[in-house]
Amino acid sequence: MILGNSSHSTSIHILDDDSLLNIFSLYRPADTVINKDKVNLAYSRGSIWVDEHWWYKPAHVCRRWRNLILGSASFLGLGLLCTFGTPVADMLAHEPHLPLAIDYLDRSRNITAEDEEGILLALEQPNRIRCIRIGPWSLQDLQDFVMAIDDELPILEYLVMATGSEDNTLVFPETIQAPRLRHLVLLGVAPPMGSRLLTTAVGMVTLFLVTYGPSVYLKPNSLLQWISCLSQLRSLVIITLPDPDVETQLSHVPTITHATLPNLRSLHVQGASAHFEVFILRIATPRLETLHIKFFDQLAFSIPFLVRLMNTTENKGLRFDNTEFEFSDERVHMETEEKSWCSLSTSGHRLRLNGHVSFMAQIVDTLSLGQVLPVVEHLILEHEKDSRSSEEGSDVEVDRTEWNKLLMPFGNVKFLHVNHGLVEEFSRFLRLEDGEPPSELLPELQQLVYSGSSNAGDGFTSFIDARQKAGHPVSLVRGC
């Protein structure tokens, strides 16, 4: 080690053991199994636990380092990786007795006979299994895997299972339990309600459930009864395709359980509005910071449940400080990103822009009445059109009343950005006719940014001139 411009060198071996351990601790990779983007957690290709081997190189530097690292295996979180092509038998025979990560989730690779043998060898040591990530497999292959465990998994923290076949429920042996399970991801696999695997995992932090078809229906009652026991839950993701009979099913559901999730920070739900309105109305999330809601089935839905949910957060954790509206032929999206992040969207209907603006106006009106829409200073309006828009008459002028309903609550907006897909339509809305007084909308606006060609901003001339004459000048800026 060379210090500054000095010709003298100092060996790293002068460091004491505690200092070296701190360096090793900082050197180890961050937890890549559960990353910030929960939605993409289990879809990435290749191994996400390849970093289990991070300690191999420093352990081979010298005997002292190896002894120090292996002697602090628990502190450093050391582990061994069983994945595609790993000679598991040799590894178990010759490597240190460390926790195991079983990682065979990769859509681009198939399990070989050697891989199957390695998986079975690893499962013979359930006391060492810390992580399991497998799939996408057929339902029968997953069932065979589960039956091969048939034992308690005392240190299991991560369980990710995905099926490539039709959704269904796995049958878990009664002996399977994982009291230290903290992160559960099931893709196309319904949670085995009532199984000891779930009932014993009361310390769960992340729950990620995705179902792809109508054969598996996640009943609100069952979900609420289950998650009501998960007081440590911080991230909850539920994605389920719409069930055509969901409203009929819910009409026959008895009194629904209520659940309080005191530590929940992130909630992400996608599916049928009827299903999740029932679900969300019956959960309390006092510390929620991130919210994403996407309904596939309808545009005209009531959102009092959203107001209630947001009003139960401490210090109004969900805020619309900076707000963005995105309109497209099959999607309406509203989101904010500042200290917190909140997103509301719907898709599945091809409506004209007027219908989308009307839909967002409903949301804004409800949020305003619920007093959960704080001061917004930055507002973005976007519109994406596909090739079928002009053919199907999507570019019909939006009713001025709908624009007024959408924008009226944003009385404190100072910066407005309109992207090129909406410049013509929105400038037409702001265009003042002869004798018409200056608009009362956006009274605090200071800057209007538009994207598109240089002459695209001509449509805003009357609005800019009127604000100038009224003593409230607005600068017009062409953006990217």
Give the separation between CA 164 and CA 180, rounded to whole angstroms. Answer: 27
Work out the mean pLDDT of the chain and round it to a whole number. Answer: 75
Give the pLDDT band of residue 307 (cuts 50, 70, 90): low
Give the separation between CA 386 and CA 237, rounded to whole angstroms. Answer: 30
Give the other-Cβ count within 10 Å of 226's Cβ.
Answer: 18
* Mean pLDDT, range 35-42, rounded to an integer: 41
**Is it the case that residue 73 has pLDDT exceeding 80?**
yes
CA-based end-to-end distance of the chain? 48
Which 3 state secondary structure label does DSSP give 15?
Answer: coil
Check residue 99 and give its pLDDT: 93
Check residue 346 and give its pLDDT: 55
Check residue 166 and give its pLDDT: 63
Write the DSSP symbol of residue 14: G
pLDDT digits (tens, 9 = 90+) for 337-365: 554 445 555 554 555 676 667 777 777 77
What is the DSSP annotation of 20-74? Answer: HHHHHHHHSPP--SS-S-GGGTTT-SS-S-GGGGTTHHHHTT-HHHHHHHHHTHH
Q: Are the C-beta atoms of residues 200 and 229 closer than 8 Å to each other?
A: no
What is the DSSP annotation of 196-229? Answer: HHHHT-TT--EEEEEE-STT----HHHHHHHHTT
Q: Are the C-beta atoms of residues 425 and 383 closer than 8 Å to each other?
A: yes
* Mean pLDDT, range 236-264, rounded to an integer: 69
Cis previous bond, 244, omega within 30: no
Give the separation between CA 457 and CA 443, rounded to whole angstroms. Answer: 20
Alpha carbon of residue 370 to chain centroid: 25
Alpha carbon of residue 473 to chain centroid: 40
Higher per-residue confidence, 242 vs 189? 189
Show the tokens assigned to 141: 């292959």
Which 3 state secondary structure label does DSSP give 7?
Answer: coil
Check residue 322 and give its pLDDT: 58
Check residue 358 and give its pLDDT: 73
Q: Are the C-beta atoms of residues 142 and 136 closer than 8 Å to each other?
A: no
**Is it the case that residue 320 has pLDDT exceeding 60?**
no
Check residue 340 and give its pLDDT: 47
Show the tokens assigned to 173: 């042996």
**Is it the case that residue 316 has pLDDT exceeding 70?**
no
**Is it the case that residue 475 has pLDDT exceeding 50?**
yes
Give the pLDDT band of residue 467 (cuts 50, 70, 90): confident
Show the tokens assigned to 266: 């992130």
Q: Are the C-beta atoms of residues 352 and 393 closer than 8 Å to each other?
A: yes
What is the pTM assigned to this prediction? 0.75
* Mean pLDDT, range 355-377, rounded to an integer: 65
How many residues belong to the chain? 480
Check residue 292 and give its pLDDT: 77
